[in-house]
Chain A
Amino acid sequence: MIEIQNLKKSFGDLQVLKGLNVTIPKGQATGIVGPNGAGKTTLIKTILGLVKPDSGILEVNGTRLNGDWLYRRDIGYMPQVARYPENMRVYELLNFIKGLRDQDAVYEHELIEQFNLQSELEKPLRTLSGGNRQKVGAILAMMFNPDILFFDEPTAGLDPRSSHKFKLRVKKEKEAGKTIFITSHIMSELEQLVDHVIFILDGNIRYYGSMSQLLELSQEERLEAAIARLMDEPIERTGSVSKQSEMKSTPITLEIA
């Protein structure tokens, strides 16, 4: 469970997060969408502890974040850009992270097999293809079986077969009750993997709720079209839901029970 209250962050004069409020219950798969520069990455980095918020409250599984680091035992993160020390071999990288985490890498072998990386284990990371490096990132994120998983543009460099396998794996994690976050520009991918959507625009959450609700509200069939409409005319959308009285108030956050 992740709870965020009035989260603010500025980089110099640029206010990136303008008071975000959101509660994500355990076991939910959430897609984070929004245009470039809207604050998606900053939001994720704040939850991961890479970026320190200026103000606001951020709780992960009951731990209030304040320079704390043990809460990250429950988090797995697959970065968008996978760059590792060039001369390190794949198995050495896995061992390195294992030594840092002091947790059992229960899924290590299963994941290596699933992503067909057995033959790459002895190779230096610099010789791996981009897609295989992405897969290594996915293994690092999932092998400790953490409760919360972050995937930043996970399938961007994967071939269709690997991408398919990756999605199957994420679905399995979801069924196992993991809290999952995915950022992606590929809306069809989100449709397959998540059931909730956070739409961030200009440092604020413009929509948070279930995907089916969003499609219903925007009277669109596909997520892509719905999001595109949100970007173009967010105000009209609030108008269209005015029959629901609580939606009239200014915050455009939707809480779906």
Chain B
Amino acid sequence: MRKHYSPAWRKELDYIMKLLTHIIKTEWKSLLRGKWVIGYTIIFILLTDSLLRFGGGGSEALLSLSNVMLLFIPLVGMIYGILYIYQSREFVELLLTQPIDRKVLYWGLFLGISTPLMAAFIIGSMLPLAWHGILAADSTSSLLVLGLGGMLTLIFVSLGFVFGLMFYDDRIKGFGFTIVVWLFLAILYDGLVLLIVFVFGDYPLEQFVIVVSTLNPIDLARILIMLEFDISALMGYTGAVFNRFFGQNTGIMTASGMLFLWLAIPTWMGLRIFRKKDF
């Protein structure tokens, strides 16, 4: 049987890519038929369109869209990821008994369910931006917001995967943990940082605040938006400090780098758990 190992890495890679596209294609088909993702797209079409119609100029609408996105994409992404793990338990177990590598199966499933959600946000928000002419006029800002939304989707779906695998047998705990993490990262975090700064105002806290803000992907995305639009007052405390410390260009580079790290770590953790787990 060893002869299956011997083909050159090229052939091996082709085989893996074939498997990955096969899994991803199947997931896409199945999700699109579920209409859930289509509904999600329509929500963003309606939201962005009405923001552009009634919310003032292009950059203001983009900022409002970012605020909605920063709040809801993390929640939707995590719930969606964890729900997939819980709903497809038996199916995933059946797939694991097939002669394929767990690693390939993990990437296939993760990309197969996260990319439709990412596409739903990007397409849903991009269409109104395009027909209102904002995409052409403010292309960098528009693409940044769309890209960040896509990135946050991937990050939080992978976090949902991780929590689902961690609390595989205890759904209540899994969902509870997800909600608490969302509350903490999306809502409480900035307030807590502000509180610490307020209490320890006599000490030099800039570096602390910078470190703390890179520990929260939502903060990182918020900082990037703020740096792009150059409006620190609107975007929370951590963002303002970040701007002052790094300036615009270095700030954008650092924050983007950290955001990629935030994507890499949960996906890697999910992969690790998935490979070692007893199903």
Shortest CB-to-CB span from A145 to chain B, Å, is 14
- Tell whether B127 is near chain A: CB-to-CB under 8 Å: no
- In the assembled complex, the Cα of A153 lies from the Cα of B278 at a distance in Å of 21
CB of B278 within 8 A of CB of A52, answer yes
| Chain A residues with CB under 8 A of B93 | 50, 79
Given contacts A92-B26, A100-B19, contact A84 B91 (CB under 8 A): yes
Binds B, one of A66-74, A160-168, A170-178, A183-191: A66-74
Question: For the complex, is B173 an interface residue (Cβ under 8 Å from A)?
Answer: no
Chain B positions within 8 Å of A50 at CB level: 93, 96-97, 278-279
Number of interface residues of B (CB under 8 A): 31
A51-B278, A87-B34, A96-B22 known; A69-B90 Cβ under 8 A = no
Once the chains bind, are A101 and B30 in contact (CB under 8 Å)? no
Question: B100 at interface (Cβ–Cβ under 8 A)?
Answer: yes
Chain B, residues 1-44, CB within 8 Å of chain A (1/0): the string is: 10011000000000100010011001001110110000000000
Q: A48 to B95, alpha carbons, bound, how many Å? A: 11
- Nearest-CB residue, chain B, relative to A88: B30
Please indicate the chain A residues that have their CB under 8 angstroms from the CB of B56 in the complex. none
Closest to A103 in B: B99
Q: Taking the nearest CB of chain B, how far is it from the CB of A257, in angstroms?
A: 29
Asked if A100 and B98 sit within 8 Å, CB to CB, the answer is: yes
Given contacts A52-B276, A137-B94, A140-B94, 11 further A-B contacts (CB under 8 A): A45-B279, A50-B96, A73-B99, A75-B97, A79-B90, A79-B93, A83-B90, A83-B91, A85-B88, A88-B26, A92-B29
Identify the B interface with A (CB < 8 A).
1, 4-5, 15, 19, 22-23, 26, 29-31, 33-34, 88-91, 93-102, 275-276, 278-279
Which A residues contact B (CB, under 8 angstroms)?
A: 11, 45, 48-52, 61-63, 67, 69-73, 75, 77, 79, 81-88, 92, 96-97, 99-102, 124, 137, 140
